[in-house]
Each structure stands twice: as structure tokens, then as C-alpha cells.
Amino acid sequence: MSKTSNGMRQSRLFTKTRREAPADEVAKNAQLLVRAGYIHKEMAGVYDFLPLGLLTLNKIIAIIREEMNAIGGEEVLLSTLQDPTVWKKSGRWDDAVVDVWFKTELKNGSELGLGNTHEEALTALMAGHIASYKDLPRYVYQFQNKFRNEARAKSGIMRTREFIMKDLYSFSKDAASHAEFYEKAATAYENVFKRAGIGDKTYRTFASGGSFSKYSHEFQTVCDAGEDVIYMDEEKRLALNKEVYDDAEVYAATGIDKASLKEAKAIEVGNIFTLGTRFSEALGLSFKDAEGKSSPVFMGSYGIGPARLMGTIVELLSDEKGLVWPESVAPFMHHIVSLGKPGDEVSKAAEDLYGDMTKAGHHVLFDDRDLRAGEKFAESDLLGIPRRIVVGRDAVATDSFEVVNRATGAVEKKSRAELLAK
Amino acid sequence: MSKTSNGMRQSRLFTKTRREAPADEVAKNAQLLVRAGYIHKEMAGVYDFLPLGLLTLNKIIAIIREEMNAIGGEEVLLSTLQDPTVWKKSGRWDDAVVDVWFKTELKNGSELGLGNTHEEALTALMAGHIASYKDLPRYVYQFQNKFRNEARAKSGIMRTREFIMKDLYSFSKDAASHAEFYEKAATAYENVFKRAGIGDKTYRTFASGGSFSKYSHEFQTVCDAGEDVIYMDEEKRLALNKEVYDDAEVYAATGIDKASLKEAKAIEVGNIFTLGTRFSEALGLSFKDAEGKSSPVFMGSYGIGPARLMGTIVELLSDEKGLVWPESVAPFMHHIVSLGKPGDEVSKAAEDLYGDMTKAGHHVLFDDRDLRAGEKFAESDLLGIPRRIVVGRDAVATDSFEVVNRATGAVEKKSRAELLAK
């Protein structure tokens, strides 16, 4: 792809775009991402990320990483292969308890699982590193591939059998210090969704805490493509999911008026759980307080799927012409489209502009191919890069380049010097 | 871990070091990396990367990525879950042909494999993106988790059942243009090993090309912990492996004199193969030349395991006190060790130095804990950060800080201003 640190030439990009959506995709996100050459479908619920798709995914991952580091997260990378021992201790090895297991085996016939989540593995690991109240709190996270044997997989990259997940686990000395971090994590999640361009559509949503606590929280993004239904209070920026919609306590706790709620379809883009001592007791993770008394560590877990977030952005922001990326997650900020012919003045000017903009630190996709202008513009719309800079004869002659905003369609005129400025 | 972009405080790092090597590890790399808290063993042949270990692994990955981009590589991320269809076409689905498969199944009983390599998947994918000679050459790579059901796994992180692999695949129009890229890739590999600090011990090694071509090449690092045996010509910087040691043709082709070869144990840190049309024919990847004649694409594959490289560096460079990282792959460049007590002048000076060095762009691990100096120094040696800066009473009073080079033991004296300078 002849990638300098900041640029990519389309003549060297291997992916081809398609005019038609693939017949086997029903979800808009998959249709557009496949058409634009961002992803490739291996089988139902299993996708590859191609160069532009991987750049986008990595932008989203970088945003999440920054927010996790900002609240004290320490990054690790745990294994996919799971030893049944720890899962048997927590009671979650059985397929009747966890119905999304993929299992495999070693040469000697011992069973192994493919990790669908990592409470067990990480809790067991932390037992070697936490002994005293002085070792608490700890916040450990990873970006790691999860495997879930979903019966259905029709939502493109939003619900897949294999996906990178950011999962953070918190280890606190008691419920009170846990609650403090839980609130920080919720705010960090809201920051992620704001930065990724879907903050205004995303609601902190009360859900059942299951066996762990009274409530957990989902982050639900209102969108017709969603598989979930939420009931939202648009003014308070809070919502409830179906599980707790008829629970009087949640109205008492939140001050929400049931009558003011609006029903909407939504996509779950994140969730946070209080786990309490469910896993620390099962797996022997305890600490001694200042008096030498031993207690189980109080835990929480916090998940975001970067690819689901990417799919949600596509569902929400794309239009009839193609993808529309917010600047924060776009694979490149600028798309230079040269209208020159090989060797002519326009081509040379486009080459120079590309070279100088990337040197100046701009992130640029450069359409340096010899194709018709109409074809180039249609493909540029499909790819969804935020700002298109058109390099044609008049622009070069007058030093006035059209910069088209992909999201709004607004056109600005800029000189070469203005384009180079940071 | 209270990680700014450039620094980490040990008071917030969750990993504890150990004085003793774990009883179940025989390989030096695993013993030291577990003791230093860089990795955690999940089971034989399966390891987690903890914060310092992941930083190191990511430094290695970044070096490899730069070198792959420099030779025109385009990065993707393919799936672990493998559809049998493509593997049946190439004849490699059968466990009798590929004896390291992990297999699993979907809810409906369909078999799936966990990818042990990606020739099949990528060749099938590229058939959607290569049609003409104008679409060639293409060089596509990924850092992706491979799964191999190894019968034995006793070499620490050098031979595991699950590991990140950088695998690049080249797609060329004919053998001649393939050969040109193959040579470029070999040079890029040599650059990687040089930059990672093991260049002087690493030999380009002739190996059998198997069914694909006359020879393939391994990159073998001379080391007593190696599982392989090579025969090296130290002057020519070339070697042969056992497969081709008795092959007269290899001596004729290379000008190596069999009598001058020295036998040595070695670790295979990379390999490059000419695949020819083996996979493109099986999976229907062809292109049309300028005259419209169709031919199968000519392929090569190129692998490096970043964790094996990390393990090799440990085997080669560590000493009786612990890990010794080259600057290029160390998780941090500097290790500030404060000898202060909570709240005293020395502690404050160490805090200020840490804050100012990280602000100035230095990458610093900061031992801000209240422990005995001897304990801190022993742990600093175990962690292997290249430069230790000792902040004690005299150093602060005289503005003259001891900087100890972990690899050589050499001690320099530097002022605060000199430490801050880039």
C-alpha cells in the first residue's frame, strides 16, 4: 500500500469496492463495509478486517485505550484457550449454564474452551498478585478476541461469533470503593461514545444486575437496526431496558416517571456490571485488611466491543451514498482525489500536495488512479473519508481547492498553504 | 497503573515479582519472564502477557510492522475461525495432513478449525480483489493469533499452542518478480533481527523448500536453548539446516565449503517460503495478463512470531540477575529508583524528575514504593530496563545522578538537566 506513516495511495490499496451489496448480507453495516472493501465475510458471523477497516477499528481501540488508561486501567493480553479447571470452580463450564461455548481438545483428549469472557482466568491470575489491602484497588483490561457460538448471526459486525472485546475488571476492597470506580467507568464509557460520534444517541440504561447486584447498566444507542428495546427519558438522558421496565424500585431509585418514557429500538454498545464476590469467592481471591482479617475481593466487569461500535457508527451515520466517518475514527482525515491524467500537470500537483500534506502530519488517502472523475467521486462517497480535496485543472491554476465535507456536503475553498497548515 | 503516555509508577503496577522460578518451568525465558511478572502461565504452552510483557511484545510488533510497511505490506486482520471448505480445496483439512489442528463446531454441528496459518483464507479472499496483472503485486500481512495443537510445549514462550504471528503473503505475476520481493523480504527480516538486538547471532539458513520450491529460508539465532541444529559459515553469514546438509546442490548454489561449517544449536526466529502456484491453483486465484491470458498468481509466505522473538532475546541476553532488554524493545528506557521515604525531600525530587522526564518525552518506569534499597535494586535488575537512575540523598544534594547501564553495568553521572535532555 506504499504507506508512509501518514498516507496511503489507492493505486497500491488491494481492496476493490463493489457497486452492489452482497446478496447474503441483510445488515446495512455489513452491506456498506463489504461494498467499500473495509471487511470480508469468512462465514456467517465471522469477518476479516481489510486495510481501511483495520485502520478504523484501531482508531476506535485507541480511543477506548486512552479512556481506560485515564481511569487507571492496566493493559494485559489473556489467552483464548481456557483451562476448564477455573470454569468448573465458578460453575460456568457446563454448556447448559453458558450456551455460547466453543470447545476443543488437546492431543491427549483434555477438553479446552475458547474464552467467551475472562472473569475466571483473570480472577485466578490476580490471586498471585493481590494479598493485602495495599494491593487494592486494581483495574485490569485487555483488547482480546472472544468466541461466542451464537445460534443466529445476522447483524453484520454487530453480533459475531468471533470479536475483539475490551473487557476491564475492577478489584476493590469493598462495595463503597467499588461504587466509586463504577461511576468513573460509566463516565469513561460516555466519553468513548461521545468521542466516537454517537454520544447524543446513547443512553445509560438500567438493566437487571442478575445474580450479582440489584442493577447493572447497559449503554444503548438508539437506532432502528437495534436488536434491543429501551424506554428512555430524553431529558434525564437515562433509560430502562425491558427487564426492569416493570420494576417499581428502579423508578424510586432514579426519579424517572414511567409515563414520560419513550420506547425505542437500540443497540447495546457497552455494559458494566457489579460482580461483587461471586468470582473472588469461587476462585480464592482474597486480601488481608490492616488488622489481618481476610475478605474476598469485590469485583466489577466492564465491556465494549470495538467492532460493534464501528457497526453502530455505520448504522447511524451512513447515508445513501455510503459510509460517513466521524473525524475521530475515520481511517484517514483527508481524501485527495486527483483528476489528472498520468504525467500531466494536474497529476504532478496532486502528487506534490499528497507528499507535502503527509509530511506536514496530515493523514491522507490519495486517489492517484487513472479513472473517470464520476467513478472516483462515487467511490470517495462510499469510503466516507471526512474531507475530500479535489485536485483538478482549475484548482491548480487558481490555487483554490474544493474541500467537500462528507457528512454535511458543505464545500469550502482553500489554498494550498491553507491545506498544509495544521 | 497511573500510566501517563510515557510513564508508569510501580506503586500502581499490579504485578509482583518472585524470587524463585516457578517449579513447572524448564525454559529460562519462561522462568525469568514469570519471575519478573511479564507473563503468566495459563497451562502448558499457553501464556498471558501482563503489563510489562505486553509493552515489550508491542515494541517488537511495532518494529516488525515498520519493516513490513517499508516493503509495501498492507495490514489486515483475518479470523481465527476457519471454514473447512477452503482447506478441503487445498487438501490441508485432514488431521493426517496437518497434525496441529484444533477443531471445534457450530451449534448445528458443522466443523470449524482454529487457524494455524492463513494461506487458504487469504488466497480465497484475494480472488475477490485480484483480476488483472494491473492488480499485482500485492503484499498483505497481519498480526494474528495462531493455534497449534503441539504435543510438547516446554520452551516457554518460544513454542506455544496459541501465539501471535506476523504472517505476510506475497502475490506476484511470475517467479521472477516473486524472487525480487523474496529478496527484499529477507532483507527486511534481517533488519528486524538487527533492530531487536539479535542480528549478530542470526543466520539466513537454507532449508528444504518442500513441495513448493528447491529451497526455503529460515532465520536461525544461535543459542544453546534452541531446538534446531544448523551448520553455519560465520564469514559468509549463511547457514544450512539438517534437511539440506547433505545436498550437494546447496553448496554449488551458495559457494559454501562444507568443511568450513560449524554446527550449533539455534532457534528459528523466522521463515520465508516460495509457495508458487500451490494455493492459487487450488483456490482459483488467477489474473489476466495484457493479452487477456489467464495464469495462477505466484505466491510466497513470510512468518515471524513476535513472542518467540521476545523469548529468544531473553535466552540470549539475560544474565544471572535477570532480564536485559535492548533499548529497542524494552518496555521503558529509564528506571527511576527513588531511595526516599514517603514525604521526604528525596521522594519529592524523584517525583519531580519522573514528572519532568515523562513530560520531556522520555519513557520511564518509576519505582516510587517505600521498600529497602537492596530490594529495589535486585528487582530493577530482574526487570531489565536499560538505564537505571538512582535518586538518593547525595545525588539530589550534588545534582549528580548515577545512571547504571543494565547490559554492561557501566555507571555514568548525569545532572538533572542532562537527564531531561533528549
Q: Which residues contact A71 (CB under 8 A, 6 or more apart)?
A: A139, A181, A184, A185, A188
**DSSP code of residue A297:** P
Which among B46, B80, B129 has the least Cβ separation from residue A145? B80
* B contacts of A128 (beta carbons < 8 Å): 16, 40
Comparing C-alpha atoms, which of B314, B306, B304, B225 is closest to residue B266? B225
d(C-alpha A173, C-alpha A136), whole Å: 6
- The chain A residue lying nearest B135, using CA atoms, is A14
* B contacts of A102 (beta carbons < 8 Å): 104-105, 112
CATH superfamily of B38-317: Bira Bifunctional Protein; Domain 2 (3.30.930.10)
Residue B2 has pLDDT above 50, yes or no: no
Q: What is the mean pLDDT of residues A24-43?
A: 97
State the nearest Cα–Cα gap between A401 and chain B, in angstroms. 30
State the nearest Cα–Cα gap between B47 and chain A, in angstroms. 6
Which among A13, A54, A162 has the least Cβ separation from residue B81? A162
d(C-alpha A265, C-alpha A279), whole Å: 33
d(C-alpha B71, C-alpha A1), whole Å: 9
Comparing C-alpha atoms, which of A302, A317, A333 is closest to residue A198? A317
Q: Do A51 and B40 touch (CB under 8 A)?
A: no
Look up residue B93 and give its three cell numbers.
Answer: 483439512
- The chain B residue lying nearest A125, using CA atoms, is B40
pLDDT of amino acid B1: 38
pLDDT by residue (tens digit) across A271-294?
999 999 999 999 999 999 999 999
**Predicted-complex ipTM score:** 0.97
Residue B3 has pLDDT above 60, yes or no: no
Q: Do B83 and A43 touch (CB under 8 A)?
A: yes
Q: Do B104 and A106 touch (CB under 8 A)?
A: no
d(C-alpha A49, C-alpha A42), whole Å: 10
d(C-alpha B361, C-alpha B358), whole Å: 5
Residue B24 has pLDDT above 70, yes or no: yes
- The chain B residue lying nearest A108, using CA atoms, is B151
Partnered with residue A300 across adjacent β-strands are A170, A274
pLDDT of amino acid A153: 85
Question: Which residues of chain A form CATH 3.40.50.800?
Answer: 332-420
Q: What percent of chain B has pLDDT over 90?
A: 94
Comparing C-alpha atoms, which of B178, B182, B173, B177 is closest to residue B135? B173
Phi, psi of B190 (to 5 degrees): -60, -40
Q: Do A74 and B14 touch (CB under 8 A)?
A: yes
Task: Please give the interface size between A and B, counted as residue pairs whose CB atoms are below 8 Å apart.
Answer: 138
Residue A4 has pLDDT above 80, yes or no: no
- The chain B residue lying nearest A50, using CA atoms, is B76
Q: Do A40 and B128 touch (CB under 8 A)?
A: yes
Question: Which residues of chain A form CATH 3.30.930.10?
Answer: 11-317
d(C-alpha A360, C-alpha B314), whole Å: 39
Class of domain A11-317: alpha beta
From the number of C-beta atoms within 10 Å of its C-beta (0-12, 13-18, 19+), residue A257 rates as exposed
Residue A308 has pLDDT above 50, yes or no: yes
Q: What is the mean pLDDT of residues B20-41?
A: 95
Residue B9 has pLDDT above 50, yes or no: yes
pLDDT by residue (tens digit) across A65-108?
999 999 999 999 999 999 999 999 999 999 999 999 999 999 99
State the nearest Cα–Cα gap between B203 and chain A, in angstroms. 28
pLDDT tier for residue B211 given thresholds of 50, 70 and 90: low
Q: Do B3 and A74 touch (CB under 8 A)?
A: yes
CATH superfamily of A332-420: Anticodon-binding domain (3.40.50.800)
Least confident segment among A79-93, A206-220, A377-391: A206-220
Q: Is A253 helix (H, G, I), strand (E, B) or coil?
A: helix
Q: What is the mean pLDDT of residues A239-261?
A: 92
pLDDT of amino acid B154: 85
Q: Do B79 and A103 touch (CB under 8 A)?
A: no
Which among A15, A76, A149 has the least Cβ separation from residue B54? A76
Residue A270 has pLDDT above 60, yes or no: yes
Interface test with A, best of B77, B82, B108 (most A CBs within 10 A): B77
Residue A2 has pLDDT above 50, yes or no: no
Q: How many angstroms separate the Cα of B245 from the Cα of each of B237, B260, B283?
A: 16, 13, 34
For chain B, the C-alpha Rg in angstroms (whole number) is: 25
Which among B16, B81, B145 has the least Cβ separation from residue A46? B81
Residue A351, amino acid: E
Residue A252 or residue B329, greater confidence: B329
Residue B257, amino acid: D
* A contacts of B47 (beta carbons < 8 Å): 79
Q: Which residues of A372-393 are buried (b: 16+ CB within 10 A; e: fewer)?
A: eeeebbebbbbbbbbbbbbbbe
Look up residue A256 and give its three cell numbers.
Answer: 424517572
Interface test with A, best of B112, B130, B164, B299 (most A CBs within 10 A): B112
* B contacts of A40 (beta carbons < 8 Å): 125, 128
* A contacts of B112 (beta carbons < 8 Å): 102
Question: Which residues of chain B form CATH 3.30.930.10?
Answer: 38-317
d(C-alpha B335, C-alpha B348), whole Å: 16
Ranges of H-type helices in A246-330: 248-254, 278-283, 306-317
- The chain B residue lying nearest A7, using CA atoms, is B69
pLDDT by residue (tens digit) across B292-336?
999 999 999 999 999 999 999 999 999 999 999 999 999 999 999
